[in-house]
Chain A
Amino acid sequence: MGDSSKTSLQVEPSDAQATRFKMPVDSEQKATEFWLFSFAAPHMKAFHLSWFSFFCCFVSTFAAPPLLPLIRDNLNLTTTDIGNAGIASVSGAVFARVAMGTACDLVGPRLASASLILLTTPAVYCTSAINSASSYLLVRFFTGFSLASFVSTQFWMSSMFTPPKVGVANGIAGGWGNLGGGATQLIMPLVYELIHHIGSTSFTAWRIAFFIPGLMQTLSAIAVLALGQDLPNGNYRKLEKAGDKHKDSFGNVFYHAVTNYRAWILGLTYGYCFGVELTIDNIVAEYFYDKFNVNLRTAGMIAASFGLANIVSRPGGGFLSDWISTRYGMRGRLWSLWVVQSIGGVLCIVLGLMHNLSAAIAVMLLFSFFVQAACGFTFGVVPFVSRRSLGLISGMTGGGGNVGAVITQLIFFTGSRYSKETGITLMGVMILCCTLPILIIYFPQWGGMFCGPRADATAEDYYAAEWSDEEKAKGYHSQSVKFAENSVREGGRRRRPPLTVPVEATPTHV
């Protein structure tokens, strides 16, 4: 890092920095390609560290639901206790996600995520020692905080990958992380059965099983700290000391996030794709176990298949978002988000009406694809809402996801007012209603679902507007300008900038 400043007078800075990376990069040193099976530092290494640590958080947060048929008898829980704990498990992350967004903006995703993950692992280990409804609620509440690492994942990917690739990077990182919610429904019953088979009584075996997610979480966070790095050029602290990165203030970051209406709308709609996904993770195993009388392992497998669809569905959403934007720009991203999420809502309505096991599984799988793809589509749009407050806006959207889960579980799945099937159908109706606000998102430079862009608006104006004139004079907004240049493709095919001088013409001023 110190060498480049010595040689910058002699060699083009972009050359010196570009040759340091295995992957091709743009003017912000963000990777312009995505090599899934590579661990190339720092871009792909960051990708693998972030998705896996996030995966472990999901495994821990949803480790209890597949074992509920045992836990509810061991602790003498009622349906109300279970419902409350389910709400608690996703409510902690509402504010944690917003705080995480700010933390990423201020200290960087590596430190922010690892700290959060290591601070929440004690809650996972202590799950083995609980003995009442209130202690069950508390451990699920504190374990759920770790879901805020979603924000650091998305932030990290948005820092490492260029705009045309950010959708697919965010989609796979988010999707493979969310996969944990499905994998845990398989892992936990299997680990439990193994331990039970070795000789432990059932009420002890489930407790021992919780050490697995706890260990996974601890080890993945240590890997992030030891092997990860915040930005292509280094970590925040080093870069700030070298003067290469301006240290922004919380007040400014906060102001520019909360005054952007698009952040609020995306938070709401994310509550009805991701929030629904969280709700289903909490209720689906018990739903199949009780309604269709399958055993614990089968219920776990069915529940797992919902979350496992994330391997392809959410990344698919991100990939399709990027692909649609090559033809139709941001307007295509918005349209596809609305269509996919609405179809998810319809399928949710249908799921609650299925009384036959195979039909229910089939509808659930289709539903999982659409609702998870919608999450991928959402984070194809989020990186473009703001450059200055990217972290906080990712946090608001992510937090909105959890709010959706809290509200949905509170209204439909607590106590005995609605049967679970009615709750699922009504949740589908709510998805349809809460997805409508996407219709009013509008970017002056790229347009919205029903309106085209304003002729005189540019991406540079949009992102530079987040900085005051003094800040611009000091050059603090340089990253935003670079980002605006790199996101020119969001205008869609028709708005591509005209090509420069044709090769055949000779310069006149030789």
Chain B
Amino acid sequence: MATAPLLRLVLVVSCIGSSMAVLFSGLPNTLTVTASPAAGQVLHAGVDQIKVSWKLNESTPASADSGYKKVKVLLCYAPVSQVDRGWRKTDDHLKKDKTCQFKVTTQPYSSGGGGSFVYSVERKIPTGTYFVRAYALDSGDTEVAYGQTTNAGKTANLFDVVGITGRHASLDVAAGCFSAFSILALVFFFVVEKRKAKK
């Protein structure tokens, strides 16, 4: 009997809540996320893999995950890779936050919480220091909880990725050839000019 108005209150509050911007500081840390790289390990883009697993915290009551419908796992920059790089800035408003720019996977949430994914580090991942974060999404695709492989200050358990250079020997050779051609063309015209002037 007392639950009916309580339920209505919860509904109202959750409606207001979802119409406000989602703040990271407002999300509960209810997921435990682990990733296969050890702290300080160096991975190579396009070569190595990361195995990510997540589950509900043991300390969290089992009913807390009733609203979780999906899990979105992201690769995120550690603070050291954000220094003097405004385009990777952390912002409490999740819509403006640029900390986590690479999607690892989005999966349905299975009640009881367990899940894992093997991610091949893509070739577009730049050189930097990273951690893994997972957001729990509700039916409206809004973040309602999170978990990450590092601590609150983002100092522990970080790993490095070395990105590809994108360079190729063929490009270097082509650059050399075209440059030489330009210089030779100039020399050619100078010689022709000198000859004409002598005549």
Instruction: Give chain A's interface residues, CB within 8 Å of chain B.
Output: 69, 72-74, 76, 78-80, 111, 114-115, 118-119, 121-122, 125-126, 128-129, 131, 201-204, 206-208, 211, 214-215, 218, 221-222, 225-226, 237-238, 241, 286, 289-290, 415-416
- Contacts A128-B171, A201-B166, A238-B197 known; A218 to B126 CB distance under 8 Å? no
Closest B residue, CB atoms, query A240: B197
CB distance from A412 to the nearest CB of B (A): 15
In the assembled complex, the Cα of A122 lies from the Cα of B179 at a distance in Å of: 4
CB distance from B130 to the nearest CB of A (A): 13
CB distance from B76 to the nearest CB of A (A): 15
CB distance from B183 to the nearest CB of A (A): 7
Write out, one digit per residue, whether chain B residues 111-149 have a CB within 8 A of any chain A CB (1) or not (0): 000000000000110111000000000000000000000
Q: Which residues of B contact A415 (CB under 8 A)?
A: 84
CB distance from B122 to the nearest CB of A (A): 9
Apart from A111-B193, A118-B182, what 18 extra A-B contacts exist at CB < 8 Å?
A69-B87, A72-B85, A74-B165, A78-B84, A119-B182, A119-B183, A119-B186, A122-B183, A125-B176, A128-B174, A201-B166, A203-B163, A204-B171, A211-B178, A218-B181, A226-B189, A286-B87, A415-B84
A290 and B167 form a contact (CB under 8 A):
no
Q: Please, could you name 26 A-B residue pairs with CB atoms under 8 Å apart, sorted by A? A: A76-B126, A76-B127, A78-B83, A114-B186, A118-B182, A118-B183, A118-B186, A119-B186, A121-B178, A122-B179, A125-B174, A128-B167, A128-B175, A129-B167, A129-B175, A203-B123, A203-B164, A203-B165, A204-B167, A206-B166, A218-B182, A222-B189, A286-B87, A290-B86, A290-B87, A415-B84
User: Considering the complex, which residues of chain B in the window 148-199 have a beta carbon less than 8 Å from any beta carbon of chain A?
Assistant: 163-168, 171-172, 174-176, 178-179, 181-183, 185-186, 189, 193, 196-197
In the assembled complex, the Cα of A293 lies from the Cα of B40 at a distance in Å of: 32
Closest B residue, CB atoms, query A118: B186
B178 and A237 form a contact (CB under 8 A):
no
A125 and B123 form a contact (CB under 8 A):
no
A218 and B178 form a contact (CB under 8 A):
yes
In the assembled complex, the Cα of A425 lies from the Cα of B127 at a distance in Å of: 34
A73 and B178 form a contact (CB under 8 A):
no
Q: Which of B163, B167, B176, B183 has its CB near the most chain A CB atoms (within 10 A)?
A: B167
Q: Which residues of B contact A118 (CB under 8 A)?
A: 182-183, 185-186
In the assembled complex, the Cα of A22 lies from the Cα of B45 at a distance in Å of: 63
Chain A to chain B: the 6 pairs with minimum beta-carbon distance, closest first: A203-B166, A122-B179, A73-B126, A78-B84, A125-B175, A118-B186
In the assembled complex, the Cα of A415 lies from the Cα of B85 at a distance in Å of: 10
**How many residues in B have their beta carbons less than 8 Å from beta carbons of A?**
32
Q: Which residues of B contact A241 (CB under 8 A)?
A: 197
Closest B residue, CB atoms, query A129: B172
Q: Which residues of B contact A221 (CB under 8 A)?
A: 182, 185-186
Q: Which residues of A contact B193 (CB under 8 A)?
A: 111, 237
**Contact of A78 (CB < 8 Å), options: B85, B167, B171, B179:** B85
Q: Which residues of B contact A69 (CB under 8 A)?
A: 87
Write out, one digit per residue, whether chain B residues 74-118 have a CB within 8 A of any chain A CB (1) or not (0): 000000000111110000000000000000000000000000000
Closest B residue, CB atoms, query A225: B189
CB distance from A238 to the nearest CB of B (A): 7
Closest B residue, CB atoms, query A226: B189
Q: Which residues of A contact B127 (CB under 8 A)?
A: 76
Q: Which of A74, A211, A290 has its CB near the most chain B CB atoms (within 10 A)?
A: A74
CB distance from B96 to the nearest CB of A (A): 8
**Contact of B189 (CB < 8 Å), options: A114, A237, A286:** A114
In the assembled complex, the Cα of A204 lies from the Cα of B85 at a distance in Å of: 22
Q: Which residues of B contact A203 (CB under 8 A)?
A: 123-124, 163-166
- Contacts A69-B87, A118-B185, A214-B178 known; A131 to B171 CB distance under 8 Å? no
Q: Which residues of A contact B176 (CB under 8 A)?
A: 125
B179 and A201 form a contact (CB under 8 A):
no
Q: Which residues of A contact B197 (CB under 8 A)?
A: 237-238, 241
CB distance from A477 to the nearest CB of B (A): 26
B86 and A222 form a contact (CB under 8 A):
no
A125 and B189 form a contact (CB under 8 A):
no
CB distance from A293 to the nearest CB of B (A): 8
